[in-house]
Structures are given as structure tokens and as C-alpha cells.
């Protein structure tokens, strides 16, 4: 064992924590970790279990592989503590945590932040921007759970804010043709129909089918049941669809880096979308509608599922029509103005 690793493990053992992990649970976890390509964490857990783990009813460990340990070098005491959480986190609970949720760790001044996009069938989770294999737990005995991660968490992780998305008017069929050809939405349409967004998929095919291949788009798609209950007449279809299309690509990785609130244009003239954090800071909103899942993304198109149809542009209240009596008064006033003007002209002509 490397001298630095041994020293760190000794420091761990000097921590004044009370242990409540059973020897049997630790032994089984160490054995499974050793046989699964996580020998470094197995050795760490074996040495520190007596004094590292505080008295708790549950424990979740996030461990990088041996190759990550080897390329990273000796991790510090504080960094290793950042990979232990006193919360009981199952695969299902990890996947269901909303964006920006905070997970406590044994590092008192640091928490893990959920940065993964919402999805109903997502197999992996992002914590502090690091992929967690939530679909395949390494060890689970009901109290101790261990998940594999692709690299060490960064305790100083913070999403870099972006002040704008550089959204510009996109080229469509009424623009000058530059020979790029039209975009194909076949894969996106198939994925949308599979996930319950058939109405918006049809609109995408019908209304954006002649969009130039160089165009970047984001489609905010309400589910079919929300769309079916929304429309009152056929003339609403086009404007409602266009207010859900943004002329730039906003995949989840871009949305989580925004400096909130962030305003972006849409294909519907004068209609803008404002991206904000939910009041409890666990989830993202577009015009106060929750983003519920990451539906599809390729090089030029991103489709995000949202919980409802975006609110329409408020229509100005119609001016009240004047009453019959008021209309007569207005007419009489106009006639009076004409007569006064005519009288003044006569007086001027005859020199009065």
C-alpha cells in the first residue's frame, strides 16, 4: 500500500465518530467491492469503518473505480468524506430526485448537487456533473448502499453561469435558400410519439418540415393529454405550437448553466420564454411551467417535456363600445366643430 494512502487511512481512524456498521455488512461490502473493480474503495472502507462512519441508520457510498484512483493520485481525507452520505438512497430515489436537490455528505461544509435532467426512464444520474450508475447498485443490504461513479466528485463544483443563449432568428422556408437542405425530424418524432408527445410531434413534422438543416431548435412539448384539453378551435394550432419553439438549441446541459432568470425568444412574434428555478430550487420552470423530462437531443434539435401548455400571450381587453346617447353626443360635437369653423371662415372672408 502506498505510504500516503496508509497515512490518510490512519487519519481516518483517528476521527471521533461512533460506528454502527455491523462487521458482517462491512465484510460483505468489502468482498463485493474487491471483486468488482473497486479494490481501492474496499481497502478504504475496511480501514475506516470503525471510526469514519457516524452513528446513523443508513449510509450511501459513491465510489470511483481503481483506474480512477490510480490516475487521480492519493485523494485527501476531505475528498473521501465527500463520497459518503448518511442518507439512504436507493436506485429509484436517486433517479427521482429533482434537479438542484442537495444530498448531505460526511463533509460538513459540502453537499452533492443533483444536476441530471429529469426523465422517466433515465438509468444514470448526475451529481456535481459526475455520472452515477444508479441503475446498477454495487452493494445493497438495506442499510449500506454503494454506487459506482465515473470520477471523483469536485467539492468546489459550481455550474458556470451564462448570461445569454445567443438565440437568433432561425432560417425557415420563407428565407432565402442557401442550399443547405431541410432538416429531418424522423428520429425525434418517433421518440416523442413513444413517450406520449404525439400531437407536438405531428406539429413538428407539419410546421417545421422545411426548416433549414443549419437551424438550431428547441421544442418544449406538453404531453398529449394537456394538448387535447387545450384547443378551442383550429385557428389556435399554429400560434400555440410556435410559442413552444425556441430558435436555438437548449439541451439540459445548457439550461442548468444559465444565470436565472433567463429570457429567450420563440418563433411566435413578441412571445418570450423565461427560464427560472422553482421556488424550492428543485426543478426548472419555463414561463412557470415545470420541465418534466429530457425527451430527445441531437446536434441541432433538443426536445424537452413540460408539464402543461405554456400560457398564451395576454390579449388586450376590448374597449367598451359607447352607448347610443354617447354616440349622438359625439356626433353633435363634431357637427358643432364644423359649424364653428365655417362661421369663422365666413367672417374672415367678409372682413368682420
Model pTM score = 0.53
| Cα three-residue angle 17-140-156, rounded to 5 degrees | 55
CA dihedral 84, 87, 92, 93 (to 10 degrees): -120
- Return phi, psi of residue 245, to 5°: -115, 125
For residues 270 and 266, what is the distance between their CA atoms, to the nearest angstrom?
Answer: 8
pLDDT of residue 61: 93
Contacts of 179 (CB under 8 A, 6+ apart): none
pLDDT of residue 55: 58
Neighbours of 334 (CB within 10 A): 9
pLDDT of residue 223: 94
Q: For residue 29, which of 61, 69, 68 has the smallest C-alpha distance?
A: 61
Work out whether strand 102-104 and strand 111-113 pair parallel, antiparallel, or are unpaired. Answer: antiparallel
pLDDT of residue 52: 57
Work out whether strand 130-132 and strand 125-127 pair parallel, antiparallel, or are unpaired. Answer: antiparallel
**DSSP conformation class of 212:** B
Per-residue pLDDT of the chain (352 residues), as tens digits, is 444 444 344 334 433 333 455 677 888 989 999 999 899 998 888 777 666 555 566 789 999 999 999 998 888 888 888 999 988 898 888 887 877 788 999 887 889 988 877 654 456 788 998 999 888 899 998 888 999 999 999 988 875 444 345 564 443 444 444 444 556 788 999 999 999 999 999 888 887 765 666 678 899 999 999 988 776 655 677 788 889 999 888 888 788 777 788 888 888 888 989 998 887 767 889 999 999 988 998 888 999 999 999 987 654 455 555 555 555 555 455 555 555 554 554 455 555 5
pLDDT of residue 192: 93
Amino acid at each position: 500500500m502506498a505510504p500516503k494512502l496508509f497515512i490518510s487511512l490512519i487519519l481516518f481512524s483517528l476521527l471521533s465518530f461512533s460506528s454502527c456498521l455491523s462487521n458482517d455488512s462491512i465484510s460483505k461490502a468489502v468482498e463485493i467491492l474487491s471483486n468488482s473493480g473497486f479494490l481501492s474503495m474496499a481497502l478504504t472502507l475496511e480501514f475506516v469503518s470503525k471510526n469514519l462512519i457516524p452513528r446513523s441508520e443508513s449510509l450511501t457510498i459513491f465510489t470511483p473505480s481503481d483506474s480512477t484512483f490510480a490516475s487521480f493520485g492519493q485523494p485527501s481525507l476531505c475528498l473521501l468524506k465527500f463520497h459518503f452520505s448518511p442518507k439512504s438512497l436507493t436506485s429509484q430515489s436517486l433517479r427521482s430526485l429533482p434537479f438542484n436537490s442537495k444530498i448531505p455528505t460526511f463533509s460538513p461544509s459540502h453537499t452533492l448537487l443533483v444536476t441530471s435532467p429529469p426523465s422517466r426512464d433515465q438509468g444514470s444520474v448526475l451529481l456535481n456533473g459526475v455520472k452515477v450508475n444508479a441503475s446498477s447498485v454495487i452493494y445493497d443490504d438495506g442499510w449500506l448502499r454503494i454506487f459506482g461513479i465515473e470520477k471523483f466528485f469536485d467539492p468546489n463544483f459550481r455550474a458556470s453561469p451564462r448570461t445569454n443563449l445567443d438565440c437568433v432568428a432561425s432560417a425557415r422556408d420563407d428565407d432565402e435558400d442557401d442550399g443547405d437542405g431541410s432538416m429531418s425530424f424522423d428520429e425525434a418524432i418517433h421518440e416523442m410519439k413513444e413517450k406520449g408527445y404525439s400531437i407536438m410531434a405531428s406539429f413538428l413534422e407539419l410546421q417545421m418540415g422545411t426548416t433549414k438543416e443549419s437551424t438550431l431548435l428547441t421544442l418544449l412539448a406538453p404531453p398529449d393529454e394537456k394538448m387535447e384539453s387545450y384547443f378551442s378551435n383550429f385557428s389556435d394550432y399554429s400560434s400555440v405550437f410556435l410559442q413552444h419553439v425556441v430558435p436555438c438549441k437548449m439541451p439540459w446541459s445548457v439550461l442548468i448553466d444559465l444565470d436565472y432568470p433567463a429570457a429567450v425568444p420563440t418563433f411566435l412574434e413578441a412571445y418570450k420564454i423565461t427560464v427560472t428555478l422553482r421556488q424550492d430550487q428543485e426543478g426548472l420552470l419555463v414561463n412557470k411551467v415545470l420541465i418534466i423530462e429530457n425527451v430527445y437531443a441531437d446536434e441541432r434539435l433538443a426536445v424537452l417535456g413540460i408539464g402543461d401548455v405554456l400560457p398564451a400571450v395576454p390579449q388586450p381587453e376590448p374597449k367598451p363600445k359607447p352607448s347610443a346617447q354617447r354616440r349622438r353626443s359625439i356626433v353633435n360635437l363634431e357637427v358643432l366643430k364644423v359649424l364653428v369653423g365655417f362661421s369663422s371662415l365666413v367672417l374672415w372672408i367678409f372682413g368682420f
